[in-house]
């Protein structure tokens, strides 16, 4: 089974609108961390936001927020007020367990923001 699943290969959103990128995960370990990274067309990987499995509140970082639904094992990224510069690939990743720093990445979602 896939550890991290991103079911949306591509998404379109109009500038200034909000968009949600889906991510579901699979683990039996009670301790884990969830990450989102952005990869623009220039190729670099940019860390956006982190959610720990024991965090009580959803993580937020500026226009990014993580809709963490533990029972459903989902960690969707919400981008508010989309900008043209948000067009990029977005990857969800999981660190599983307490004794590793290893990340497992999903296949990514390509977001295109149009005027």
Taking CB under 8 A as the rule, does residue 91 contact another protein?
yes
The end-to-end CA distance of the chain, in Å, is 38
Cβ burial of 11 (10 Å; 0-12, 13-18, 19+) is: middle
Taking CB under 8 A as the rule, does residue 64 contact another protein?
no
Taking CB under 8 A as the rule, does residue 76 contact another protein?
no
Residue linked to tokens 């927020």: 65
User: Reduced to 3 states, what is the DSSP secondary structure of residue 86?
Assistant: helix
What is the chain's alpha carbon radius of gyration, rounded to the nearest angstrom? 14
Where in 14-53 is the site for another protein (CB under 8 A)?
33, 35, 37, 43-47, 50
Taking CB under 8 A as the rule, does residue 107 contact another protein?
yes
For residue 41, the minimal CB distance to another protein (Å) is 13
Q: Which residues bind another protein (CB under 8 A)?
A: 33, 35, 37, 43-47, 50, 91, 95, 100-108
């Amino acid at each position: 089974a896939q550890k991290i699943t991103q079911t949306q290969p591509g998404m379109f959103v109009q500038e200034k609108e909000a968009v949600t990128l889906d991510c579901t995960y699979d683990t039996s370990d009670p301790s884990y961390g969830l990450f989102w990274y952005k990869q623009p067309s220039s190729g670099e990987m940019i860390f956006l936001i982190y959610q720990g499995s024991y965090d009580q509140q959803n993580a937020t970082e500026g226009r990014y927020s993580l809709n963490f639904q533990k029972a459903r094992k989902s960690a969707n990224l919400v981008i508010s007020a989309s900008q043209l510069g948000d067009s990029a690939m977005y990857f969800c990743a999981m660190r599983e367990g307490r004794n590793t720093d290893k990340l497992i990445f999903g296949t990514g979602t390509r977001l295109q923001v149009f005027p």
